Structure 1
Amino acid sequence: MTATLWDTNGAEIVKALASERRAAGALASGLALTLVVVTDEHNVAEAETAATAAAAAHPCRVLVVVRRRLDTDDRLDAEVQVGGLLGANEAVVMRMYGRLTLHAESVVLPLLAPDAPVVTWWHETAPDRLAYDALGVLASRRVTDSATVDVPVKGLRRRAKDYAPGDTDLAWTRTTPWRSLLASAFDGGLVTATSAEVQAERGNASAALVAGWLQARLGVRTKVSDSGGPGITAVEVRFEDDERLRIDRPDGHLATLSRTGRPDRQLPLKRRELGDLIAEELRRLDSDDTYAEALATVTGEKDLSDRDPMRTHVWRDPTRKAAKPATKKAPKTTKKKTTSKAGR
């Protein structure tokens, strides 16, 4: 069931959602959480597809916020959908115009599923400080993606500087299969590690995080080198007595696990779809201390897990230009006219 509302308001959306739920027979709420998706018009279709795939594993209410033009009259258009392709889930896609885009939380708050945690995902470049966006402040879990930044490694430094427990990054989520495979390989009782290396395309944020994770866990310096990609292509750990553990994935699909003294093994290590990444993040709603440890190691920021998990909204108006610092002009100096005694 789908309802489309043009030039509407938050109260009308709440009524339409209740009406669609009754029509679909969803009288009782079995929703586990609310997923707030912040995106732009260019990425809204991809965001909807990923959110729908994630919602298949986690009954939730999906609220998609599409911020349109700021330099126009305030307006709100919405699409409300319950059931259908969403299964037991609900979705509201809201397109906001004008200064309403700066106050999206006023529309979103009444739509949150009752007594359920909130996850906010920016399917676009997230603000430098997540507290600039009130949609991040109301969430207990905040999902960003450093891969969307022009220079992903700089994006990691930005996320570390602004980090609060509950933050996570899809660049980290992409490393889960690599970390699982490496951890299982270590179960065989390998000796002490002496060095490690991650090979990936240049500037890959996931590679930097894997290197940070290895360095934090093994206590050895880990190098990241350029292999051309796609993504991470290999991880190698060297040990005492010339032992070596290496995982190669040159094509983004199949990996080869090599270990000194044992035959090579081929294992599936496919690059995952966006919906799978979001579904993984929805499985855990507590803070990820392992991610915080890896991020701290990569960026040099200290004690990330000890920071206050509560965020306070910091108001910032993007239409208001920052005032230029006042500069004082140097006072004019007048030279005294002097005459020599001989000229008197």
Structure 2
Amino acid sequence: MIGLWDTTGNEVVKALAAERRSAGGVASGMALTLIVVVEEKRVREAEAAATIAAAAHPCRIVMVVRSDIERERNRLDAEIVVGGRLGPCEAVVTRMYGRLALHAESVVLPLLVPDVPVVTWWHGEPPAEIATDFLGVVADRRITDAAQAANPVAALEQRARDYAPGDTDLAWTRITLWRTLVAGAFDTIEAKVTEATVVAPRTDPTAALMRGWLAARLGIDPIWESTTEFPRMRGLQLRCANGDELTLIREENMATFRRTGQEDRMLPLVRRPLGDELAEELRRLDADQVYAEALGALAGISGLQQRPAQRVHLWKDPATAQRAEAGITAHGGTTANH
């Protein structure tokens, strides 16, 4: 590992090149660049997940840790790791302070691997608008995690309003096994499904996307049955026109599958580590149309998959917004005009 304190972007690029040369073939054959936007307190957690994903998809990991944008003096610290604790990949952890944190692209762009796709993953509360963040604009794929937001379901609805092809969310990844089990059940169903119920807490983003997926696939409006007895989606029930019912109920790492006229079956429904979820999303670098349809059905917005894939950078200064809010508070509900 190389540590650079109070350095410059050029020095980081030079140090990375030197470390690659000394590492020999360890850093060859990069399939993509993974940009990780994360808070300081979650860097190690993000490193662990990215390392698992990089084992399946060799990549260069560029971590962006933004801190204290109000600091008067800009500062850049960096750690460079090739191989070592992060396995057969290379990583640059950049910590940006002051106004530099608002212009992370000046540091990140020279660190992208040439001629390979770029994926940006926000490990934390998703941004309100990805278009205001250059790290989202430069990426071919953008991965958010609505579960990290204060209101996860509202965060998904915002993702629909802000959607462009290439976006995805880890809440969608977490229902892959659910969708696989449900889709498998349709191999033996001949009657039309007329009604569906999803049992989950009202704040569960995976349940919201499951409802959206069922609505988009089946053309129905699934019922959301609220529960507080389980921290995440508990189960779902499908009712067919011929009276048959299919039910999936989660029991820790297993699910009980029930169908009218058949014996109950136990099926695996394991909650995967974060790194495995991230690795799944890195398997595809094209737009996920099924996710777009489910997200659109959830938010009541049609045609998401027809939107243009290209994003345009719209930069907004958060410091200006903070000063405006402070002005509103200080002047009893109105911003001072001078």
TM-score (norm 2): 0.93
Structure-2 change in CA distance of 1:46 and 1:178 (3 Å): same
The alignment of Structure 1 onto Structure 2 pairs a total of residues equal to 326
Amino acid of the structure 1 residue aligned with 2:293:
E
Q: Structure 1: which 5+ residue stretches go unaligned?
A: 329-344
TM-superposed CA distance for 1:71, in Å, is: 1.8
Q: Matched residue of 2:102: which SS?
A: helix
- 1:86 Cα shift? 3.0
- CA deviations 1:25-62 (Å, max 9, x no partner) are 13873000000000111211111111111111100000
Deviations 1:117-164 (A, max 9, x none): 000001111221101111111001001111111111111111111111
Q: Considering fraction of residues, name the structure with more helix.
A: 2
Cα deviations by residue, 1:140-198 (Å, 9 ceiling, x for unpaired)? 10011111111111111111111111110111111100001100111113311110011
Tell me how large the CA RMSD over aligned residues is. 1.7
Residue aligning to 2:156:
156
Aligned with 1:182: secondary structure?
A: helix
- In the TM superposition, what are the counterparts of 1:290-301 in structure 2 within 5 Å? 290-301=290-301
Larger radius of gyration: 1
CA contact (8 A) 1:194 1:240 kept: yes
- Whether the aligned pair in 2 keeps the contact of 1:230 and 1:250 (CA below 8 Å) is no
Identity of aligned residues (%): 55
CA offsets per residue over residues 65-109 of structure 1, 9 Å max, x none?
A: 000111212001110001123333110101100000000011000
The residue number in structure 1 matching 2:16 is 17
List aligned pairs for 1:76-225, cutoff 5 A: 76-225=76-225
> What CA distance in whole angstroms lies between the structure 2 residues aligned with 1:176 and 1:183?
10
Tell whether the 8 Å contact from 2:26 to 2:82 is kept in structure 1 after alignment: no
Distance 1:127 1:326 in 2: 25
- Give the superposition deviation at 1:260: 1.4
| Counterpart mapping for 1:208-247 below 5 A | 208-228=208-228, 229-247=230-248
Contact map agreement 1:70 1:99 (CA 8 A) in 2: yes
2:331 aligned partner: none
Instruction: Give the whole-Å Cα distance in 2 for the aligned partners of 1:180 and 1:84.
Output: 36
The answer (yes or no) to whether the contact 1:206–1:232 under 8 Å persists in 2 is yes
Separation of aligned partners in 1, 2:160 and 2:225: 22
Q: What is the distance in 1 between the residues matched to 2:190 and 2:149? A: 37
The corresponding residue for 2:48 is: 49
Q: Which residue of 2 aligns with 1:312?
A: 312
Which residue number corresponds to residue 257 of structure 1?
257
Q: Is the 8 A contact 1:56 1:86 kept in 2?
A: no
The Cα shift of 1:326 comes to: 8.2
**Deviation at 1:111?**
0.4
Give the match for residue 32 of structure 2. 33
What is residue 63 of structure 1 aligned with on the other side? 62
Aligned equivalents of 1:157, 1:267: Cα separation in 2: 31
- How do 1:322-341 residues align onto structure 2 when only pairs under 5 Å count? 322=324
Amino acid at match of 1:161: R
Deviation at 1:267, TM superposition (A): 1.2
- In structure 2, how many angstroms separate the alpha carbons of the residues matched to 1:110 and 1:327? 42
Whole-angstrom distance in 2 between the partners of 1:327 and 1:97: 29
> How far off its partner does 1:247 sit?
0.6
Letter paired with 2:142: R
Structure 2: gaps (5+ residues): 329-333
Q: State the SS of the aligned residue for 1:159.
A: helix
Q: Which moved more, 1:106-115 or 1:226-235?
A: 226-235
Question: CA separation of 1:170/1:28 partners in 2, compared to 1, >3 Å: closer, same or farther?
Answer: closer
